[in-house]
A and B are shown apart, each in its own frame.
Chain A
């Protein structure tokens, strides 16, 4: 086993895992509060990637070139706009179905996912898109020879740092503010919370907005780092992020982050040492195995069936 590859893949895994974690947060919060899988969440992430490229190009066209300013502006604009998408998705496709049949929200979510994919394909074209390298520069660690080193790009560091900051802020919002308390109350018992005067529709909207904003952070950072995307990236990334949410225990915020990092590491080490072609197969198999043997995940609580 090659030590350098191991360290390199661990670093890559951590970065990938942070991205999964940021997206998984959206799945886990929505599932926690209304008990549905928001299939369109992966596509919200995809939209964020496109918006990042668009805002980046727009700011460049306006003559703003200072990297920190551009970065912060792009991030904020993308978050705001993606959050609006998240809100609209909930408003159009899920809210009217609150009291519908069990399958209805799921099917509606798949419809929404198709809509978002095709909307982007039709307006931006089906081809692969890219952004200029924006943050170049990297660190080399453990260097002993021309091919023996571990490389960490600045963008990778940025992803991990931003993921930590984002998660920290979200944790504060949920645990430390009145709004967060209302969110947790709605998650515990929606009807009771409504009876106590919590505007549940508003809280659910907020959860979708927060989830979309976190996905936007992931989308922006990934675009800065890899610079290449198409209208279909939300699909595979979405399933993997959901796997991360389940792995960590659906409904649990720290679980989503933990699950993301474990999945990222596992996938990255698998593709480094076993086989790159089958890394997606590996991730999906992991999802199946976790659901069969530990559906409540690592940090989740087992569900007690209500009779």
Chain B
């Protein structure tokens, strides 16, 4: 079976600084893949490229959907016009469309949904409303049917509310549905963000340091949830994490980055014993205690 996500020769430059050079890895469907590495290794930059927030300077990021569609996650961000675009009206049209309407939103619509290191909730909206916003693709967005409250609209809306409650219950947030997201405790906000991502119907769920700031018990619950998501909901997970115990416990595949390059990749045990990885980590004091 082919990989869900293929990253090849990914390069990212900010001005003169090369943040990533030639990063490549694959994410198999239904797997949990962890991106690890010392601070400043470029993990979040990879994430931002994959989820469409940065336009990579070079390389390829392809998403192969189970239906056999192939989405180029760099093209949809709308790059500058190239010579070929002026010959082919089709290519020109695509480029123009992506320039006007492209961006991270299209990556999300293709099925790459993420969470953020510094939680980004809609703080002045209730937890449930947060989850309703995420179900953009499933509700009736037409203005007229909403204003007339047609039957189809009400059914879609009721179903969305139902689904939102399901995910709230899943992450044990059932009692907090009508509270403002910004008022929830930190750990709950983290969970709500993952619940919200799940409502956006992800194929590839990208979690940016989901365990940051959680206590050991919450981290243990989180690892159960992630495994349950994969098993019960057919989601492929890609995560950045510093908590090595969590990484070892849940991931099938680990990619180690250092200085913007992949220095090792493989099964968790193999990566853990790799001397190159150890050296990279020991070179960055304060990172080794999780081992």
* A–B in direct contact per CB < 8 Å: yes
When C-beta atoms are compared, the residue in chain A nearest to B123 turns out to be A101
Number of chain A residues whose Cβ lies closer than 8 Å to a Cβ of chain B: 4
Contact between A305 and B53, CB atoms less than 8 A apart: yes
Among B14, B44, B116, contact of A304 (Cβ-Cβ < 8 Å): B14
Instruction: For chain B, residues 102 to 152, give those with C-beta under 8 angstroms from any C-beta of chain A.
Output: 116
Alpha-carbon separation in the docked complex, A147 to B44 (Å): 68
* Residue A307, interface by CB 8 Å: yes
Alpha-carbon separation in the docked complex, A305 to B48 (Å): 11
When C-beta atoms are compared, the residue in chain A nearest to B45 turns out to be A307
Contact between A307 and B14, CB atoms less than 8 A apart: no
Alpha-carbon separation in the docked complex, A259 to B15 (Å): 24
Determine chain A's interface SS by DSSP, over half rule: loop
Whole-angstrom distance from the CB of B100 to the nearest CB of chain A? 12
Q: Which residues of A contact B53 (CB under 8 A)?
A: 305, 307
Q: Which residues of A contact B48 (CB under 8 A)?
A: 307
Q: Which residues of A contact B44 (CB under 8 A)?
A: 307
Whole-angstrom distance from the CB of B114 to the nearest CB of chain A? 9
Whole-angstrom distance from the CB of A100 to the nearest CB of chain B? 13
Q: Mark B159-172, 1 if CB is under 8 A from A, else 0.
A: 00000000000000
When C-beta atoms are compared, the residue in chain A nearest to B53 turns out to be A307
Q: How many B residues are at the interface, by size bracket? A: under 10
Whole-angstrom distance from the CB of A188 to the nearest CB of chain B? 15
Whole-angstrom distance from the CB of A296 to the nearest CB of chain B? 12
Whole-angstrom distance from the CB of A231 to the nearest CB of chain B? 37
Q: Which residues of B contact A307 (CB under 8 A)?
A: 44, 48, 53-54, 116
Alpha-carbon separation in the docked complex, A305 to B53 (Å): 8
Instruction: For chain A, residues 259 to 307, give those with C-beta under 8 angstroms from any C-beta of chain B.
Output: 301, 304-305, 307
Alpha-carbon separation in the docked complex, A304 to B14 (Å): 9
Whole-angstrom distance from the CB of A294 to the nearest CB of chain B? 14
When C-beta atoms are compared, the residue in chain A nearest to B114 turns out to be A307
Q: Which residues of A contact B14 (CB under 8 A)?
A: 304
Whole-angstrom distance from the CB of B68 to the nearest CB of chain A? 31
Q: Which residues of B contact A304 (CB under 8 A)?
A: 14
Instruction: For chain B, residues 84 to 112, give those with C-beta under 8 angstroms from any C-beta of chain A.
Output: none
Alpha-carbon separation in the docked complex, A284 to B116 (Å): 38
Alpha-carbon separation in the docked complex, A220 to B116 (Å): 51
Whole-angstrom distance from the CB of A248 to the nearest CB of chain B? 20
Interface centre among A301, A304, A305, A307 (most CB of B within 10 A): A307
When C-beta atoms are compared, the residue in chain B nearest to A101 turns out to be B124
Whole-angstrom distance from the CB of B43 to the nearest CB of chain A? 13
Whole-angstrom distance from the CB of A245 to the nearest CB of chain B? 22
Instruction: For chain A, residues 114 to 143, give those with C-beta under 8 angstroms from any C-beta of chain B.
Output: none
When C-beta atoms are compared, the residue in chain B nearest to A304 turns out to be B14
Alpha-carbon separation in the docked complex, A98 to B54 (Å): 28
When C-beta atoms are compared, the residue in chain A nearest to B51 turns out to be A307
Whole-angstrom distance from the CB of B182 to the nearest CB of chain A? 11
Alpha-carbon separation in the docked complex, A301 to B15 (Å): 10
Alpha-carbon separation in the docked complex, A125 to B263 (Å): 73
Alpha-carbon separation in the docked complex, A305 to B52 (Å): 12
When C-beta atoms are compared, the residue in chain B nearest to A305 turns out to be B53
Alpha-carbon separation in the docked complex, A304 to B44 (Å): 14
Whole-angstrom distance from the CB of A191 to the nearest CB of chain B? 13
Alpha-carbon separation in the docked complex, A305 to B45 (Å): 12
Whole-angstrom distance from the CB of A54 to the nearest CB of chain B? 46
B-side residues, CB < 8 A to A, are: 14-15, 44, 48, 53-54, 116
Interchain residue pairs with CB less than 8 A apart (8)? A301-B15, A304-B14, A305-B53, A307-B44, A307-B48, A307-B53, A307-B54, A307-B116
**Known pairs A304-B14, A305-B53 / 6 extra A-B pairs, C-beta < 8 Å:** A301-B15, A307-B44, A307-B48, A307-B53, A307-B54, A307-B116
A-side residues, CB < 8 A to B, are: 301, 304-305, 307
